Amino acid sequence: MSSLEDFSDIIQLDKPLAPLTWMNIGGPAQYFLRPRDRDELRQVVACCYENEISIRILGSGSNILVRDEGVSGAVIQLVDPKLAEVTIDGNEVRAGSAALLSQVISASVKAGLAGLEVLTGIPGTIGGALKGNAGGKSGEIGQVTKSVLAMTAKGELVTRTGDELSFAYRTSNITEPFILEGTFSLQSDDPEEITQRMKKIWIMKKSSQPLSDQSAGCIFKNPRGLSAGSLIDQAGLKGTHVGGAAISDRHANFIVTSEGCKSDDVLRLIDLTRSKVSEQFGVDLELEIQIW
């Protein structure tokens, strides 16, 4: 039986995770690994499976809150350029899971391909975007996804296409822990026209969201037919502070953090928000971010 000690080149013990997340708070990972290619990833995953070590996957850390006590088990982050390659063939774009969503959008626009620009301003990697069907008012990534290559908890590769793929609001049916790449079917369009649409989306986001503050993006999913931000605002919670965490004055579905903030501050503010909204409107807010 292999051991994680066999991966001494890529493993770190008690690795601080806060600097790797957008909120910049939280404790360490018991084991932290950055596999350099698919084969090494497969070996790491198989080793964790054999030794019954839990696995968490870290992308760019844009929608994750790590608890103050940190994370037991293995945290695996895919950042190697070999896992972030982007190739374009006709109207199809294939992107590795470690590729930043913004980079893939730029590459597709440069090639005169439309469909991904609706995701302008959304942070994160292709892997995370596919897993959670990233999107906004203009569209979602699932609408242009043709296929997904994933890896099971045992290290086996699977390709999902057509009816095997299902996307809904901020979720997908991709249950495998690792997404390795996605293929997107786009439409030919004038790069200038696409760029203009991107600019409009970006201006709207910049005017309504606290993009310059330290946050993890939207905290709660929008209930069907409602806006989580509007409900929180109507509950009179804008600007509410708990320790170093505060509900943004600009957009009530954002929690911003300041120096000295603890994860527990954010968690208590989340609980307070859910309680107030449920009490006043009878709506149970569901988290959009992941809590580790």
Q: What are the residue numbers of the active site?
A: 170
Question: Tokens 């499976």 label which residue?
Answer: 49
